[in-house]
Chain A
């Protein structure tokens, strides 16, 4: 068992009314799964993903990640936990514009205090694996969308996470680039990485092994 959500509720108060963003979510994720979260706009897909990624808090329920109860952890421990085990891939890539491809890849390693030589080796490895060695000194603005997302995924993978959380990873890409990215996810999944993606597209959802449908914050 990689993670387990029990009776998760999340809400905001607006004008005296309580609006539920997540309502009684129960979810078990095993290692090696490839899950797609689907649902219309505003159904709580991204919120669920952020809760799983520990970037967002919830108001009620239990969350266990690798036998640690996340809801009782202090912020610092939580940060250590996701830094160690989770990689994020964003719809709009979120690369740092001021850093080159190589430096963007290196950044997570800096926060995990790897030594310089180790970092160099790992970055070179990743550049090689994603076939972007030639682009290592370019800045994000000099790359196409697909290439930027490739770097984004490489950055998420570089610290060998158990879990990759992807929020509409192909949302900003054309169909050919999108397909390539999904193929890559498939391949990573086959190598043993657990993936949870949020997507609008039925086609992308088919790459996964399981689909979770959300409507108004509730699993259906």
Chain B
């Protein structure tokens, strides 16, 4: 019996090739989108899921309130760890202090590498569950040891056994390789942990850290923990919430709260707003999940619509089968197995599409998703997915077709009732509602990106490179290097800075100035620069003057940005002093010598932060910023700069970033969402149009006789086209009016997250509506005009 069903199904499919292409192709496309989104969601949800102790693994976070603004982050002060050990040791299995993940230069003999890694306390390998391939698990025991990841070891040592060999770090310290561990999986928060060095070494070799051992105010470190077996995250958080406030009076005014962020939340729910956890990437998981579900729904609607539209053709078969003795149940089975066959077929096509597109998608989404061939879970889910889709897409036609009365259909008097088309119409409306909403959403995302991109950034980012200088070798050579770079003709200006142009790495408070309001808790971005910084960046001085090498007092001068002028409440900023509020051992006061235009260093969607640009007296710089010679090609310039760099620092690899590319990175997340939603929208529209195209052709076929009669009576091609198109256009218009408020509501909510945002204009919605109608007219017209031009004699004779 099943064979018979499938045979009929197969022959139906091969007989109506255009129909099959639309039906199976549309479904395959929808499934492919859903599959890819499914794989992406799976990848997102399994982030950080490969740690055996993940349920007990957490990072210590801190919330503090400045001027009623609560900031939350993982940065914690050094004395916290001993305080937790002393007071709450029972709650923890491991407490591991860690540095931030920073790039270092690793050198073995003649091989240099720049790799990211951390300094961590001794039990880190236990906490992280490191799989040690060579050497010892307790690899951080010796103060001058280093553990390397497999990829780092391979790159540095090749075939040589690295254990016991010496690696020179940043051309300063010699460390002995104690272990090689398997690289962390790519979808883990520790993916960049390419080496680990002992925490004690970090403390011993950095004076500022040793000085911070009792300093509750210096939040510059990370603390990872594994809580004890018999306790929960909540109860530990409750216990330690006020530990800092109780331990330290100086910082108590900021109301510091210490809590645990479980590993489960690190990746997907790590956003905080005013001290409250407000989600994070999880919203994109939801967003794309919904998009995937909708695209699949659209494809299923096509399948249903085309199947029921064809029902009059299949009605005869139903009548014959029933008169021969088929029961309704058997017909339902038949149509469901047909649907199953089509869905299976579409699924195979979808898999091919996914395989073809996966590389491109990975590039777009920055993923390393592989097709899970060998994952039985995937196949099980696939099977359920096929069954579900087959049922979803096939149930309506199955129930509808099998309900026909044999007498009616065999007598040839069968006419679908007045309301038989209603469900089909509702489905078309649903389809186009989704499509129009997608169009509006995509246009608004794109607009927001462009809006932020076109925002004036305050400096000239083209032809500007930054070269990292993370080594003490660079100390005291700034002026020499500047001279050499400029003399070489490759750069026209150079300045150092303590943080990259596109970031703020340091914030300061603890100043007093004239007119400072009582109790004002200032928070200022802090960048230390060499005197030519503004010149190098083409940063405009709007008041006062730039740093000058001729003025000896400028080493205690400071440039502030326009926002800072307002923030500090200064009427005449030039000449004002910013004094250190520490009365016992104050730093010398800083004198404001100039005001620079606001430049965007952080998010292009946020207001510019109040900032200070301070003369760098202590070699605190991390980057050379070079303005390339505009009269030469970038390649020429870079070759010369690299040569000059190598002559001076032969032991350090030459690395650089183009500032404009770094800046573009800020748009990456939104750009990705924009591109992806653009693609999905295009597919959604394509699928909807395929369905509409199929429907029109069936309607035209159904009304062949009517069209013939009308033509004989004198209807023009235009009349017929109008008659056929009008119905569909009406449906799409209804969709538009449903979609617009929904899209407005959702997109308005999305935009609220961006302080610097585009204003929603009515014409975006009008444009999307016009677009949808235009597409509808085009799609429908093809079939309508074909039907309208056919010879009426032919169509009437076939009756």
Docked complex Cα distance between A98 and B12 (Å): 7
B70: min CB distance to chain A, Å = 70
In the complex, B326 has a CB within 8 A of chain A: yes
A-B contact count (CB 8 A): 59
Is the Cβ of B319 less than 8 Å from the Cβ of A94?
yes
B306: min CB distance to chain A, Å = 17
Is the Cβ of B4 less than 8 Å from the Cβ of A110?
yes
Is the Cβ of B316 less than 8 Å from the Cβ of A103?
no
Is the Cβ of B327 less than 8 Å from the Cβ of A76?
yes
Contacts of B316 in A (CB 8 A): 94
In the complex, A39 has a CB within 8 A of chain B: no
Is the Cβ of B321 less than 8 Å from the Cβ of A103?
no
Within A91-113, the residues touching B (CB, 8 Å) are: 92, 94-96, 98-99, 103, 106-108, 110-112
Known: A96-B317, A98-B11, A110-B1. A46 touches B411 (CB 8 A): yes
Is the Cβ of A99 less than 8 Å from the Cβ of B7?
yes
Cβ-defined partner of B8 (8 Å) among A53, A55, A96: A96
Contacts of B324 in A (CB 8 A): 83, 88, 107-108, 111, 155
Contacts of B405 in A (CB 8 A): 55
In the complex, B410 has a CB within 8 A of chain A: yes
Is the Cβ of B4 less than 8 Å from the Cβ of A88?
no
Contacts of B8 in A (CB 8 A): 96, 98-99
Docked complex Cα distance between A56 and B411 (Å): 12
B 136-169 binary contact with A (CB < 8 Å = 1; else 0): 0000000000000000000000000000000000
In the complex, B355 has a CB within 8 A of chain A: no
B contact residues, range: 20 to 34
Is the Cβ of A79 less than 8 Å from the Cβ of B325?
yes
Is the Cβ of A56 less than 8 Å from the Cβ of B320?
no
A53: min CB distance to chain B, Å = 7
Cβ-defined partner of A103 (8 Å) among B7, B317, B407: B7
A99: min CB distance to chain B, Å = 7
- Which residue of chain A has the shortest Cβ distance to B5 in the bound complex? A110
Contacts of B320 in A (CB 8 A): 94-96
In the complex, B415 has a CB within 8 A of chain A: no
In the complex, A172 has a CB within 8 A of chain B: no
Docked complex Cα distance between A138 and B164 (Å): 82
B 1-45 binary contact with A (CB < 8 Å = 1; else 0): 100100110011001000000000000000000000000000000
B 191-211 binary contact with A (CB < 8 Å = 1; else 0): 000000000000000000000
- Which residue of chain A has the shortest Cβ distance to B316 in the bound complex? A94
Known: A46-B411, A50-B407, A94-B316. A79 touches B4 (CB 8 A): no
Is the Cβ of A112 less than 8 Å from the Cβ of B325?
yes
Is the Cβ of B12 less than 8 Å from the Cβ of A90?
no
Docked complex Cα distance between A146 and B8 (Å): 24
In the complex, A20 has a CB within 8 A of chain B: no
In the complex, B468 has a CB within 8 A of chain A: no
Contacts of B412 in A (CB 8 A): 92
- Which residue of chain B has the shortest Cβ distance to A50 in the bound complex? B407
Contacts of B327 in A (CB 8 A): 76, 79, 111
In the complex, A207 has a CB within 8 A of chain B: no
Is the Cβ of B325 less than 8 Å from the Cβ of A82?
yes
Docked complex Cα distance between A96 and B322 (Å): 12
Contacts of A90 in B (CB 8 A): 410
In the complex, B323 has a CB within 8 A of chain A: yes
A83: min CB distance to chain B, Å = 3
Interface centre among B12, B322, B330, B411 (most CB of A within 10 A): B411
B 400-413 binary contact with A (CB < 8 Å = 1; else 0): 00000111001110
Interface centre among A53, A55, A82, A83 (most CB of B within 10 A): A55
Docked complex Cα distance between A12 and B20 (Å): 41
Docked complex Cα distance between A98 and B316 (Å): 12
Is the Cβ of B407 less than 8 Å from the Cβ of A56?
yes
Docked complex Cα distance between A79 and B326 (Å): 8
Is the Cβ of A111 less than 8 Å from the Cβ of B326?
yes
Within A44-94, the residues touching B (CB, 8 Å) are: 46, 50, 53, 55-56, 76, 79-80, 82-83, 88, 90, 92, 94
Docked complex Cα distance between A96 and B317 (Å): 6
B 315-354 binary contact with A (CB < 8 Å = 1; else 0): 0110111111111001000000000000000000000000
Within A148-170, the residues touching B (CB, 8 Å) are: 155
A166: min CB distance to chain B, Å = 13
Contacts of A99 in B (CB 8 A): 7-8, 11
- Which residue of chain A has the shortest Cβ distance to B317 in the bound complex? A96
Contacts of A76 in B (CB 8 A): 327
Is the Cβ of A55 less than 8 Å from the Cβ of B4?
no
Known: A98-B11, A103-B4. A53 touches B323 (CB 8 A): yes
- Which residue of chain A has the shortest Cβ distance to B328 in the bound complex? A75
Contacts of A88 in B (CB 8 A): 323-324
A74: min CB distance to chain B, Å = 11
Within B246-292, the residues touching A (CB, 8 Å) are: none
Docked complex Cα distance between A197 and B411 (Å): 16
Docked complex Cα distance between A178 and B412 (Å): 22
Contacts of A53 in B (CB 8 A): 323
- Which residue of chain B has the shortest Cβ distance to A165 in the bound complex? B323
A76: min CB distance to chain B, Å = 7
Docked complex Cα distance between A46 and B408 (Å): 12
A-B contact pairs, 29 of them (CB 8 A): A50-B407, A55-B322, A55-B405, A55-B407, A56-B407, A79-B322, A79-B327, A82-B325, A83-B324, A88-B323, A88-B324, A94-B316, A94-B319, A94-B320, A94-B323, A96-B317, A96-B320, A96-B321, A98-B8, A98-B317, A99-B7, A99-B8, A99-B11, A107-B4, A107-B324, A108-B325, A111-B324, A111-B325, A111-B330
Interface residues of B (CB under 8 A from A): 1, 4, 7-8, 11-12, 15, 316-317, 319-327, 330, 405-407, 410-412
Q: A50-B407, A79-B322 are in contact. List 8 more A-B contacts (CB 8 A).
A: A92-B412, A98-B11, A103-B7, A107-B321, A110-B4, A111-B321, A111-B325, A111-B326
The 6 closest A-B CB pairs, nearest first, are: A83-B325, A98-B11, A111-B325, A108-B324, A94-B320, A56-B407
